[in-house]
Amino acid sequence: MPRETAFPEPLPEPPARRRHRRWPWVLAAVVGVPVVAAGVFLASFDLNGQKPRIEAAVKQATGRDLTLAGPIGVKFSLVPTLTVEGAALANMPGGSRPEMAKVRRVELELALLPLLSREVEIRRLRLVAPDILLETDAEGRPNWDFGRPAGPEPAATTPPPAPEPRPAEMASRRLNLSVGRVAIEDGRVTWRDGRTGASRTLGIPGLEVVADGDRGPVQGRGSLTLDGAPIAVEGSSGPLLGLIDPIPGTPWPVRLTLAAAGATATLEGSIDQPKERRGWKAVLSAAVPDTQALVPLLPDVPLPPLRDLRARVGLADAGPGRQALTGLDVSIGASPLDPLLPGLALAGLTAKQAGPEAPLVLDGSGRLNGVPVTLKGTTGSPMLLRPGTEGPLPVDLVATAAGASATLKGRIGDPRRIGDVALQVALAAPDLAALSPLAGTPLPAVKDLTLGFQLAERGFGFSGGAVLTGLRLASSAADAAGDLTYVVGMRQGVHGTLASRRVDLDALRPPAAPAAPGAPATPPV
């Protein structure tokens, strides 16, 4: 029988996965070659030779000279670093110094791969010793107003209008810019008033701001100085892109904390519609152990000598150009207030307002010349004192001292100018002599004194005096009723009519002043 012929066994095929091993290398070549080429271009490009063009472009845009005194370099890597040494922008003519802004060194880390997608991704921007001067001249013109740059007038001929680019073409031209990290070292910003010569300097020993991508939060922390006084700053916010391209229904948040001279202040807020600047709300909280410690930071602000001050203020958007006070809570601890009123010592004071339409509730106590005093009651919202705000300010206050009480109730129609005043004033003193320490002089020993009248202004802000109508006085020494007008001006004095059925002049005489040691007492006049 013929021998069977066997078919040869086929050779084994190489595993399919071996064919795909080339693709990572191909992909790396496709992506890496342009990146490497861009890096080689940056490394070989003569950036220092471009200084005249850069300086000319800034001159054309601002009308000011830009000086690039130091070299421009490139440190080549996967993320190249561009460096600029000794840059300065000229100040306005007649400025207090030649430079408006200068910086010792600028470092910029630029990612290459995003450039393929027309995205400029600055990984890190470092400014070493930036020095910025903001000032005005004697006429009040600021040096940051560059005006129209000097240059030849444009030709009178009008070129034909260019065709409008299509949306797809505009999108292809647009460059997306993102900055991941900004660091400032040994910086300084100086403000100088050319009219008064006054100046203030904000130092920036160290400040760093980090962004977590285009849609991630922004966080910052650093140390500042204001005229040498140290300030610590820390904050966070939503993405910067959220201000120009917000996500619908997502509020843009912000938080900032300052700490200086033992005091802290925190601002927390958000805005619902960042592009329209609508729907914002904010809460400012502060804790100040001693306001006098803030005098070096706020030398032009007349700070009262308050201690253990704590405040929380809530504000919200109430329409174009209007704000609403959503909450107020202020407390002050024991504070000597002799600079405001000799002999006055505050034991404590609270001021609270629950909402925009709620009254301001006051509750305080202290001593005046050793006599315990209290103040309680309500007033209208302090927002009524803002310019452009209309509406009367209601008042309902009660003060007590040495067994006596004084009440003030009514309204002030124009609280900003203290006009249209209609207040009912009442005083009840079981023993008038007990109030002598408050008056600073001996008072007669009048008993069971009651006094009431309607108070109105004579001229806005009581500039022309005061009008007292419906006056009623009763006491152990005298009674009276009528109307009085206190006039301020060329013929200052008191005018009006009073009727009395009983007056005891002897009882109205103050007691004799205490005699000095070894001297006879002075008889009353």
**Residue 308 region by backbone torsions, left for phi larger than 0, else alpha for psi between -120 and 50, else beta:** left
pLDDT for position 241: 83
Highest-pLDDT range among 151-160, 273-282, 304-313, 438-447? 304-313
pLDDT for position 44: 52
Whether 511 has a pLDDT exceeding 90, the answer reads: no
What does the pLDDT average to over 319-323?
86
Whether 58 has a pLDDT exceeding 80, the answer reads: yes
Give the single-character DSSP code of 98. S
Q: Where are the domains of the chain?
A: 30-142+176-211, 404-512
The torsion of the CA quartet 352, 308, 383, 368, rounded to 10 degrees, works out to: 80
Residue 523: count other Cβ atoms within 10 Å of its Cβ: 8
Please report which confidence band the pLDDT of residue 391 belongs to, taking 50, 70 and 90 as the band edges.
Answer: confident
What does the pLDDT average to over 47-55?
88
Whether 472 has a pLDDT exceeding 70, the answer reads: yes
pTM: 0.79
Dist. CA 138–CA 97, nearest whole Å: 15
Query: In sequence order, what are the residues at sequence separation of 6 or more whose Cβ sits closer than 8 angstroms to the Cβ of residue 171?
Result: none
**Residue 86 region by backbone torsions, left for phi larger than 0, else alpha for psi between -120 and 50, else beta:** left
Mean of pLDDT over the chain: 86
Whether 3 has a pLDDT exceeding 60, the answer reads: no
